[in-house]
């Protein structure tokens, strides 16, 4: 009997490709003839080094990264990067701009201020409860970097186009839309992304850093918090989260070989988003919470006419094998997270349910 699988709309940890889960299952007890599980082998073994090096190579190929960029797989999640970025790059006398577009941007700003770093909030959408992405931003001349959050899981907004920062490098938290679309990585000095949204299980954070920024890293930082140490040791200064890296490598392989790259993935994601947004826009029952030109293709947030109906909608969806549709606890409402591994069939099933629910409760 096949195991029961529901349509997974969770915001993270989130859906993984079924083929990846099946491969993990098939080789979990004996990884590549080692006689051991991937969770048991040495991180210094040939087996794990092949996994790590392949994950690095596929990351660089999918994003068209040149030799200036170093790819790391670190622990601590994106939340640790909120502190590591300013610790590594903002020594005395340096300043950075931050754009505040929601909860995770707010947390990144808070960490930088906690460290006493000189930062400026160059723009914010807090005035309208983070329902939009700011435009026409005036950045600080000579800033060391500009920090943005590319996609906002809680508020359902996303940068459609990244801001023009001139010669100032962009730094981005891409935790929830990494590998969902192609973009010009050459404009970025550093990119970080927690895996559990769109790339794998929790436990590892992808960090891509341009080598010219490494000269800014002070030697006085604790060793584990210095990017250059992780670069010099190929992410293995200490024992890495081997299972999480292995799963991420399989997801990257799926994106590369099964999907066929980020251009094709982007077209699929656009089709999924269009289905749900069209349903919302054509309805007088559902109401999207993000401005139309700032809508996320990863996290679609919406409200119903009342909280009672929202609770009923979520419960009945769960009863129809659609999980994870409850909005974040800080904002309520409903949210459909449609990351790469959530396929078009799942989205069409949700839209059909939305139509049925409206006809019965509208």
Helices 344-361 & 307-319, crossing angle to 10 degrees?
130
Alpha helices in 210-343, H assignment, sequence order? 227-232, 242-253, 262-281, 307-319
9 neighbors 350 (Cβ within 8 angstroms): yes
Q: CA nearest 327: which of 310, 344, 315, 305?
A: 310
- Main-chain phi, psi angles of 290, to 5 degrees: -105, 145
- Active-site pick, 70, 117, 155, 197: 197
> One of 70, 159, 173, 272 is an active-site residue; which one?
173
Tell me if residue 197 is catalytic: yes
Query: Which residues, other chains included, contact 10 with Cβ-Cβ below 8 Å and sequence gap of 6+?
Result: 323, 324, 337
Whether omega for the bond prior to residue 148 falls within 30 degrees of 0, making it cis, is: no
Angle between helices 77-89 and 103-114 (to 10 degrees): 40
- Reported as type and span, the H/E element at residue 357 is helix 344-361
From the list 70, 104, 159, 177, the catalytic residue is 104
Positions annotated as catalytic residues are: 104, 173, 197
């Amino acid at each position: 009997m096949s195991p029961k699988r529901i349509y997974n709309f969770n915001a993270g940890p989130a859906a993984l490709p079924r083929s990846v889960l099946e491969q993990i299952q098939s080789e979990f007890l004996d990884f590549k003839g080692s006689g051991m599980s991937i969770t048991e082998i040495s991180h210094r073994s040939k087996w794990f080094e092949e996994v790590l090096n392949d994950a690095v190579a596929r990351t660089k190929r999918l994003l068209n990264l040149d030799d200036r960029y170093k790819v790391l797989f670190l622990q601590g999640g994106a939340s640790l990067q909120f502190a590591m970025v300013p610790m590594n790059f903002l020594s005395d006398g340096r300043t950075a701009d931050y754009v505040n577009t929601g909860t995770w941007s707010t947390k990144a700003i808070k960490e930088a201020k906690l460290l006493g770093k000189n930062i400026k909030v160059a723009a914010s959408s807090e005035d309208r409860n983070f329902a939009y992405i700011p435009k026409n931003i005036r950045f600080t001349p000579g800033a060391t970097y500009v920090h943005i959050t590319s996609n906002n899981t809680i508020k359902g907004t996303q940068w459609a186009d990244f801001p023009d920062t001139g010669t100032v490098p962009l730094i981005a938290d891409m935790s929830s839309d990494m590998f969902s679309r192609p973009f010009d990585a050459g404009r970025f000095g550093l990119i970080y992304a927690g895996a559990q949204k769109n790339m794998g299980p929790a436990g590892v954070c992808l960090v891509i850093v341009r080598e010219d920024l490494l000269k800014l890293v002070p030697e006085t930082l604790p060793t584990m918090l210095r990017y250059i140490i992780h670069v010099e040791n190929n992410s293995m200064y200490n024992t890495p989260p081997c299972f999480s890296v292995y799963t991420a490598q399989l997801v990257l392989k799926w994106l590369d070989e099964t999907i066929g790259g980020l251009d094709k993935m982007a077209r699929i994601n656009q089709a999924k988003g269009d289905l749900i947004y069209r349903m919302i826009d054509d309805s007088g029952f559902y109401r999207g919470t993000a401005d139309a030109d700032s809508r996320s293709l990863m996290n679609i947030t919406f409200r119903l006419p009342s909280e009672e109906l929202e609770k009923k909608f979520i419960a009945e969806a769960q009863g129809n094998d659609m999980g994870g549709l409850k909005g974040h606890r800080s904002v309520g409402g409903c949210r459909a997270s449609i990351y790469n591994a959530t396929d078009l069939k799942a989205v069409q099933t949700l839209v059909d349910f939305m139509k049925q629910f409206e006809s019965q409760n509208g």
